[in-house]
Structure formats: C-alpha cells, structure tokens
Amino acid sequence: MKKQATSVLILYNKTRKAILIKNILIHPLKGVKKMDAMEAILSRRSVRKYNKKSLSDKDIKELLEAAMSAPSAGNQQPWHFILIDDPEILGKIPTFHKHAHMLRDASIAILVCGDLNLEKHKGMWVQDCSAATQNILLAVRAKGLGAVWLGIYPREERLEGMKNLTKIPENVIPFSLISIGDPAEKQGKVNRYDDSRIHHNTW
C-alpha cells in the first residue's frame, strides 16, 4: 500500500493565535465536478476586488490540497502555508507591500513559505513554492473565486515585514502571498499566445 503524503499548515485565527496542525492527510478528491483544466488556465486573471463573503472550510482545504499536489524537486515538498483571515493582520501588510491594498477586502490570504530545513536539493524551494502558488491560483479559478499573487520573495522589506508580522522562524522564508475572495470583477479569456516566443530545437 502506498504511503499517503502528509504536510504541515499554520493557521492564524482571528484571535491572532497560531495553531500548528501537523500530519494532515492528503486525500484525492472524489466525485467533485470542477471547471475544465484548460478553461481555468486560459481564463485565470488577477482579481483585486472582492464581495464581502467568507470561504468555507471545505474550499480552503481543497485549495491547500491543490497546493500540496504541486511537483517539487525530488518530491521534497519544502512548503508551509499560513492562512491569514485576521483583519488586523491583513490591514498591516500594505504598510510594507504597496500593492497589497486589496487584502483589506479579501476573505482570506494564503502565505506560501519555503522551509530550508526540508530542502533536499539546495535552492529548488523557489521553483517548488512557485508551483504550489500556481496550483492555488488555478484551484481558486476553478471554484469561481478570485485571487491575485502578491510577490514577497526576494524583496527584503516584504520578507522582513511578513516575518515580523507572522512570527516565522529563521529557517522559513515567506515566498508569496495569495489574496483570495469572492470576485467583484469578471475573469475571462485573453489571448496571450505569441508565436515569436517559440523556438524549435535551437534559438
């Protein structure tokens, strides 16, 4: 029998107490009808305006399942995720990240972090966390929700701000922050295909 993957998440609740949940079992989704993968990819857009509506625990868990299903170097899975729904914490982030004002209206934000102690392949955590971030964005779109990727790494002021705000240990690096909510603006397909960027065998 194959071993089921486990991972770790840290939840910051509205009382600002961190809850560490270890060894979460990751189960495949069964019988859940979702948006076609290509449709989700081609119609995903950055959404910065939200309706006031909270996300269900089921939706949040499925977003995290999507994140933890991302590929990683040597299957090292070096990630941690901090769920932030405390309005006070969300409201402080724009003080050091000038593009994060939409967080004040977001239902929740997911901070994707890389743990250097979990690295088997040095430096590859950046690619691993990028894949996890993209998986969350596509899962958000498939659910009819809206999100935007806010870059944290490698900007020093953002790294320092997030570390101080969420009490992240030294061996963990905040990589990206995903603002998520019920979209108050439309998403749709835009043709970004560009033949000039394609090279065959050689440049």
Q: What is the pLDDT of residues 47-73, one digit of tens each?
A: 999 999 999 999 999 999 999 999 999
172, amino acid identity: V
Task: Tell me how far apart the alpha carbons of residues 81 and 83 are, in angstroms, rounded to a whole number.
Answer: 6
> In the numeric block, which tokens belong to residue 180?
């998520």
**Mean pLDDT of the residues in the chain:** 88
- 10 Å CB burial of residue 65 (0-12, 13-18, 19+) is middle
pLDDT tens-place string over residues 165-176: 999 999 999 999
What are the extents of the domains in the chain? 48-188
Instruction: Inform me whether the pLDDT recorded for 106 exceeds 90.
Output: yes
In sequence order, the β-bridge partners of residue 146 are 181
pTM recorded for the entire structure: 0.84
pLDDT tens-place string over residues 69-92: 999 999 999 999 999 999 999 999
pLDDT value at position 35?
Answer: 84
> In the numeric block, which tokens belong to residue 187?
């998403």
Instruction: Calculate the alpha carbon distances from 20 to 6, 12, 47, 52, 113 in Å.
Output: 14, 9, 29, 27, 14
Three-class SS of residue 79? strand
Element (DSSP H or E) covering residue 9 = strand 6-12
Short-list 179, 138, 146, CA closest to 39: 138
DSSP conformational letter for 104 = G
Give the right CATH number for 48-188 from 3.20.20.70, 3.40.109.10, 3.40.50.150, 3.40.50.300. Answer: 3.40.109.10
Instruction: Inform me whether the pLDDT recorded for 120 exceeds 70.
Output: yes
